[in-house]
Chain A
C-alpha cells in the first residue's frame, strides 16, 4: 500500500512539474486538459481523499472521468476577454465558419465551444462535437496556441 502512495506522490510531482511549474516558470497560462490533465486531477483529488475522507475517492474518479470525456479545458492565468479574443482570432486564422452562441461559438457547423468564466482568471472551456471535422479540430489546436501565447 505504501508503495502505491509513493508511486502516486511521484506521479503527482512529475505531472505538477509538467502542467504547473513549467508554464508558470515561463509566465505562461496553465492548461489542465486531455488525458494527462484528467489524470492529474484524479490523482490530486485522490491524494486529498487519502488525507481527508475515503469517500472523496469517488469524487476523484468523477472529476477525472468528467474532465476527460467532456473534452474540457481548465485554463488559469488568462482573462475570459482574452480567451474570447484568442478564439475569434483562431476562427479567423483557420478561415472556418462560425456562429456566435451564448458564451462561445459554434465552429464549422460541427463543434460548439463554450467558455465559462470561473473568476480569478480561471476559465472552463467545453467542447461538444456534432460531427468530426478536421477543420474544427485544427481551429481548436490554433486556439490552444493563441491562449498559451498570452503571458500571465
Chain B
C-alpha cells in the first residue's frame, strides 16, 4: 500500500476543526482532487455513516464507496473507502499552542483496472502526497480566515 501524510496547525478550537474535517459533506471543499461525496447517509456524522465518492487522479475518474469506521470526537476519525481505489484516511486532532494540530495519514492502493489508465505510478504517488498537503492547507484557509 502507498502512503501519503501531512499535518498543519489551525488556530481554531479542536472541536470546531474536528466537526468540519470529519464530516464527509465538507470533503470536496478542502480535498483538491475529490470531486464529490454523494448519497451521504445518515446526515448525522458518526460511525457507520456511508457515502459514494468520485476522485480525479491524474485526469482519471475513480469512484467508490466509503464508510466512517471511527469517530472519536474531537480526537480521531477514520474513513475506509473501497472501489477503484481502496484507501484508509485517518485524521488525528491534538490541541497545540491554543489551536489544533491536524494530521492526515492516507494509505491507498489503486485497483488494477484504474492503474492501467494511469500513466506513471510514481507521478501518482507524488500527486497524492501533494494532494494531502494541499488538503490541510485548504482546511487552514477555510477555518482560520
Contacts and interface: CB of A to CB of B under 8 A. Distances in A.
Q: Do A and B come from the same complex?
A: yes
Interface of A: 26, 90, 93-95, 108, 134-135, 138, 141-142, 145-146, 148-149
A135 B141 CA distance: 6
Contacts of B26: 93
Interface of B: 26, 28-29, 32, 35-36, 54, 61, 138, 141-143, 145
Nearest to B138: A138
A135 B145 CA distance: 7
The interface residues of chain A, by DSSP majority, are classed as: helix
Nearest to B61: A26
B145 A93 contact: no
A149 B36 CA distance: 7
A95 B61 contact: no
Contacts of B32: 141
Contact of A149 (B35, B143, B145): B35
A135 B26 CA distance: 15
30 contacts: A26-B61, A90-B29, A93-B26, A93-B28, A93-B29, A93-B142, A94-B29, A94-B142, A95-B142, A95-B143, A108-B145, A134-B141, A134-B145, A135-B141, A135-B142, A135-B145, A138-B138, A138-B141, A138-B142, A141-B32, A142-B28, A142-B29, A145-B28, A145-B35, A145-B36, A146-B28, A148-B35, A149-B35, A149-B36, A149-B54
Contacts of B35: 145, 148-149
